[in-house]
């Protein structure tokens, strides 16, 4: 089983998770998200995820976000990797401690991107 990386703190409408093994589950508040999971929101669906390092992701309606990796090593930041793949839709991400400590190892891949970076 993959490691726990996040929990759903708010779920509105229809939201589901497709696990790495292909099985699917309806998402409710408190649902645990793991590496390899894909979060899917339907029209009118919206979910907030809180990650183990304090990072937050908001997945907006009609979106699909895959959690490819989420890990950090204090002793070897090259071993750290946070990688999301937005297959469609809109997300908002606020990095947590791990993303801030290993900025060069944070990725959010999208088919088309529009990005805003606070503090630059």
Q: Is residue 118 included in any domain, yes or no? A: no
Q: Is residue 81 included in any domain, yes or no? A: yes
Q: Is residue 115 included in any domain, yes or no? A: no
Q: Is residue 88 included in any domain, yes or no? A: yes
**Residue 17 falls in which region: left (phi positive, over 0), alpha (psi -120 to 50) or beta:** beta
Q: How confident is the model at residue 77 (pLDDT cuts 50, 70, 90)?
A: low
Q: Is residue 38 included in any domain, yes or no? A: yes
Q: Is residue 119 included in any domain, yes or no? A: no
Q: How confident is the model at residue 91 (pLDDT cuts 50, 70, 90)?
A: very high
User: What is the pTM (predicted TM-score) of this model?
Assistant: 0.86
Domain holding 97, by residue range, is 4-109
User: Which residues, other chains included, contact 40 with Cβ-Cβ below 8 Å and sequence gap of 6+?
Assistant: 15, 16, 17, 18, 63, 64
Which neighbouring-strand residues pair with 66? 38, 85
- pLDDT(118) > 60: no
Q: In what order do the strands lie in the sheet with 106-109?
A: 24-26, 15-18, 38-41, 64-71, 81-88, 106-109
Domains in the chain, number: 1
């Amino acid at each position: 089983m993959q490691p726990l990386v996040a929990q759903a703190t708010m779920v509105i409408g229809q939201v589901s998770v497709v696990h790495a093994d292909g099985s699917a589950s309806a998402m409710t508040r408190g649902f645990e998200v793991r590496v390899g999971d894909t979060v899917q929101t339907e029209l009118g669906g919206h979910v907030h995820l809180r990650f183990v390092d304090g990072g937050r992701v908001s997945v907006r309606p009609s979106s699909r976000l895959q959690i490819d990796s989420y890990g950090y090593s204090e002793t070897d930041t090259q071993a750290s990797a946070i990688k999301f793949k937005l297959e469609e839709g809109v997300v908002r991400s606020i990095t947590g401690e791990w993303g801030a400590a290993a900025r060069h190892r944070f990725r959010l891949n999208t088919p088309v991107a529009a990005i805003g970076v606070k503090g630059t």
